[in-house]
Structure 1
Amino acid sequence: MNSIKRHIVIASHSTLAQGMANALKFFEGDNLKLNVLSAYVDNKPIEGQIEEIFNQFDKDDEVIVLTDLLGGSVNQKFFPYINRPHTHLITGVNLSLAMAITMEPIEGYLMPEKIQSIISEAKKQVKYVNELAKNADEDDEDE
């Protein structure tokens, strides 16, 4: 079962995906293999670019696609690929989610429960820091 290959695709409007890939490589090293799609920056149809990406993968390979916006056209163009076996489409990506996915050991296919758990943890990273600081100050005053 260890012969499974996992491919990570990061796709976004403009160059957000490339920036995310650069940040991931900063933390995880330049050997990190990612497929990056910066949509609509070169006037090429995105459908063809997506098809080219998927044509590189064997049918048994696992593919995890991370996109920027749920209602966005980039996510919509990847949507038909969720019918491909071992393909997962995750949207609203942030850096902590992308790091958790890319650092996940390849010991078999990722189960939907594990992906849900990673998403849940990543959601906890979205905070309004002003409120956190205010609450911390109030806690200090209570002591």
Structure 2
Amino acid sequence: MEIVLASHSNLAKGMYDSVTLIMGKQQNLHYITAYVDDSVDFKNQLVEEIEPIKDQKIVFVTDIIGGSVNNNVIDLTSQNESYFLISGMNLPLILELITKISSIKDSDSANEIEENLQQVVELGSSGIKLIKVDNSFTEEESF
């Protein structure tokens, strides 16, 4: 199963670079940076970038729901039941996705994959916290 990070500008590349730093190079992780070059149509860029993996099961992760990147990926994923979409890209979500992907089998049904991806979304979302830092907080206490 392949993972494609897609974002406005360079967020997807930054996430890719961060994952590589933390977990090493991931063969199934790819990224697409939209609108970095004004002369490139994102829809065409998307189709071209996934060409080598288009026959695989793919999980797309986009930066923001309702944005043009997400909407173009929706158009693409709606045409293929082996494509899945998660919106709301963040680093904990991507790390969890990479970890979980290894337990998803090619023989798993779309429903089984969606259940696994829902778990990833829930775990990725649980890493979002408001942290109140006051003068009594020290680095030593954070560990």
Flag whether TM exceeds 0.5 (same fold): yes
1:129 alignment counterpart: 131
Moved over 3 A (4+): none
AA partner of residue 29 (structure 1) = G
How far residue 52 of structure 1 moved from its aligned partner, in angstroms, is 0.8
Matched, 1:29 2:24: yes
AA partner of residue 105 (structure 2) = E
Q: Distance in 1 between matches of 2:46 and 2:122?
A: 27
1:95 alignment counterpart: 91
CA-atom RMSD, angstroms?
Answer: 1.9
AA partner of residue 54 (structure 1) = I
When normalised by structure 2's length, the TM-score is 0.80
1:15 pairs with one of 6, 10, 14:
10
How far residue 107 of structure 1 moved from its aligned partner, in angstroms, is 2.8
Q: Which has the larger radius of gyration?
A: 1
Deviations 1:64-110 (A, max 9, x none): 10000001110001101223121111000111110111122143346
How far residue 126 of structure 1 moved from its aligned partner, in angstroms, is 0.7
User: What pairs up with 1:1-143 in 2 under 5 angstroms?
Assistant: 6-43=1-38, 44-59=40-55, 61-83=56-78, 84-104=80-100, 105=102, 106-108=104-106, 109=108, 111-130=113-132
How far residue 53 of structure 1 moved from its aligned partner, in angstroms, is 2.3
Q: Distance in 2 between matches of 1:124 and 1:77?
A: 27
Q: Distance in 2 between matches of 1:52 and 1:124?
A: 34
- The 1:14–1:62 alpha-carbon spacing in structure 2 relative to 1, beyond 3 Å, is same
